[in-house]
Amino acid sequence: MKPQISIIIPAWNEELTIFRTLRYLKENAELLWEDELIYEIIVVDDGSSDRTYEIAWPWADKLVRHSKRLGKGAALQSGIAKARGKVLLFLDADVQASAGYALALIEPLLRCEADMAIAKLPFSPARGGFGLVKGLARRGIFRLSGYKTAAPLSGQRAVRADCLRELGRFSRGFGVEVAMTIDAVRCGLRIVELDVPISHRQTGRDWPGFVHRGKQFVAVGVALLTRWKERKPAWSSSDRSSI
Q: Which of 164, 146, 177, 2 is nearest to 72 (CA)?
A: 177
Mean pLDDT rounded to a whole number for the chain: 88
Class of CATH domain 5-241: alpha beta
- Alpha-helical runs (H) found in the chain: 18-33, 52-56, 72-82, 107-110, 132-145, 161-164, 176-186, 207-229, 237-241
Residue 45 confidence (pLDDT): 98
- The domain locations on the chain are 5-241
Cα gap 158→136, rounded to integer Å: 23
Cα gap 179→186, rounded to integer Å: 11
- The string of pLDDT tens digits covering residues 187-224 is 999 999 999 999 876 655 555 656 767 888 998 999 99
Q: For the chain, how are helix, strand and coil distributed in percent, rounded to 5? A: 45, 15, 40
- The string of pLDDT tens digits covering residues 110-146 is 999 999 999 998 876 555 555 889 999 999 999 999 9
Q: Does the pLDDT of residue 242 top 90, yes or no?
A: no
How many angstroms from the chain centroid is the CA of residue 150? 15
Q: Is the pTM of this model over 0.75?
A: yes
Cα gap 107→117, rounded to integer Å: 9
Q: Which of 173, 141, 192 is nearest to 76 (CA)?
A: 173
Quick one: average pLDDT of 180-187?
95
